């Protein structure tokens, strides 16, 4: 694809991520930030030769492409936004010669029977946008092979873990505004870690991403006004270990919900 044709095609879409397409051309998304760089680093440290990966909420494919670079034999890029998948399928993947499988799907409809299980599930920048975060974590659990890896990035509520808690603000009250005003589910760090363990994920590594000075001030005086954004982001690498699940609780909760 010639440069001019590529630029013209890119102009038909909007972008969140910046993807380097070569010859000085990049998708006109936001600069890759600290949390995204951490996710990329975790993927980049893995040898995925012959393995499978899925990027849930893939947007323009930033993390899916990194998994493919690390040797993954099968990579799925899943997103519920049709124009993201169209751009991947029609522009980005053909241009890069990528074999990533673009999949237009609501993540809650993903299941191992139809889509398979994966050695790596990348679940970045999605969880805190979901009204049903527990259902989402169950979906992810079912997609990760036993012994497989999940890389999770999400927003967390900064109350410094006095108790395990899930903050579910209304759109008017969400601490993130503008294009992120649909952010509606913020575990605090304690609750997130404990719920990951409930779903059979053993935390291997975690990094909280935010301005260190702001976090220090909030720790001293408590949660500040929403203008200070009482949320941070966390990046967690987990291993799927079914042996740590509480089987009795799992049977109870999942029989009650019928899921």
How many folded domains does the chain comprise? 1
Give the per-residue pLDDT at 218: 56
Range of the domain at 163: 32-257
**Integer angstrom CA distances of residue 35 from 64, 87, 131, 194, 217:** 16, 24, 22, 22, 21
Within a domain: 237: yes
Give the per-residue pLDDT at 214: 58
Contact between 92 and 61 (Cβ < 8 Å): yes
Q: Which residues pair with 202 in a beta bridge?
A: 239
* CATH (domain of 104): 3.40.50.150
- Please give the Cα distance from 148 to 121 (Å, whole number): 8
pLDDT digits (tens, 9 = 90+) for 45-85: 999 999 999 999 999 999 999 999 999 999 999 999 999 99
Task: Give the Cβ contact number of residue 122 at 10 Å.
Answer: 30
Residue 9, φ and ψ in degrees, nearest 5:
-65, -40
Looking at the whole model, is its pTM more than 0.85?
A: yes
- Please give the Cα distance from 25 to 12 (Å, whole number): 15
Within a domain: 22: no
Within a domain: 17: no
- Please give the Cα distance from 244 to 232 (Å, whole number): 27
Q: Is the pLDDT of residue 212 over 80?
A: no
Within a domain: 109: yes
Mean of the pLDDT values across residues 162-188? Answer: 81
- Please give the Cα distance from 231 to 233 (Å, whole number): 7
**What pLDDT band is residue 225 in, cutting at 50, 70 and 90?**
very low
Six token digits for residue 199: 């779903």
Q: Which residue has the higher pLDDT, 234 or 172?
A: 234
Give the per-residue pLDDT at 159: 79
Which candidate, 154, 203, 204, 207, places its Cα nearest to that of 183?
154
Within a domain: 14: no
DSSP-assigned letter for residue 178: G
Give the per-residue pLDDT at 227: 44
Give residue 154's Cα distance to chain centre. 7
Within a domain: 185: yes
Mean of the pLDDT values across residues 234-251? Answer: 94
- Please give the Cα distance from 206 to 153 (Å, whole number): 10
Six token digits for residue 137: 């974590």
Q: Is the pLDDT of residue 184 over 50?
A: yes
Instruction: Round the average pLDDT of the chain to a whole number and report it.
Output: 90
Mean of the pLDDT values across residues 155-178? Answer: 81
Q: Which residue has the higher pLDDT, 197 or 227?
A: 197
Six token digits for residue 20: 């380097």
pLDDT digits (tens, 9 = 90+) for 5-15: 999 999 999 99
Within a domain: 25: no
Give the containing element (helix H, strand E) for 149.
Answer: strand 144-157
Give the per-residue pLDDT at 153: 98
- Please give the Cα distance from 169 to 72 (Å, whole number): 38
Q: Is the pLDDT of residue 190 over 60?
A: yes
Q: Which residue has the higher pLDDT, 147 or 176?
A: 147
pLDDT digits (tens, 9 = 90+) for 142-158: 999 999 999 999 999 98
- Please give the Cα distance from 156 to 185 (Å, whole number): 8
**Dmax of the chain from CA atoms?**
60
Using DSSP's 3-state secondary structure scheme, residue 244 falls into helix
Share of the chain above pLDDT 70, in %: 88
């Amino acid at each position: 694809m010639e440069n001019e044709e590529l630029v013209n095609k890119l102009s038909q879409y909007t972008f969140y991520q910046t993807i380097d397409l070569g010859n000085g051309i990049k998708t006109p998304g936001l600069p890759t930030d600290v949390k995204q760089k951490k996710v990329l680093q975790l993927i980049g440290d893995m040898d995925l030769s012959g393995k499978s990966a899925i990027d849930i909420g893939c947007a323009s494919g930033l993390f899916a492409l990194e998994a493919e670079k690390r040797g993954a034999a099968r990579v799925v890029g899943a997103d519920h936004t049709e124009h993201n998948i169209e751009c991947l399928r029609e522009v980005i993947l053909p241009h890069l010669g990528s074999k990533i499988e673009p999949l237009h799907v609501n993540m809650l409809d993903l299941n191992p029977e139809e889509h398979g299980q994966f050695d790596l599930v990348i679940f970045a920048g999605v969880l805190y946008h979901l009204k049903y975060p527990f259902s989402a974590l169950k979906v992810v659990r079912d997609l990760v092979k036993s012994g497989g890896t999940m890389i999770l990035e999400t927003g967390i509520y900064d109350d410094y873990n006095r108790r395990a808690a899930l903050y579910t603000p209304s759109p008017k009250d969400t601490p993130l505004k503008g294009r992120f005003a649909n952010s509606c589910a913020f575990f605090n760090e304690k609750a997130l870690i404990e719920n990951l363990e409930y779903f059979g994920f053993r935390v291997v590594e975690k990094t909280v991403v935010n301005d260190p000075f702001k976090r220090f001030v909030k720790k001293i005086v408590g949660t500040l006004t929403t203008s200070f954004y009482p949320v941070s982001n966390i990046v967690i690498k987990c291993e799927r270990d079914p042996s740590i699940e509480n089987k009795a609780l799992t049977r109870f909760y999942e029989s009650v919900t019928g899921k």
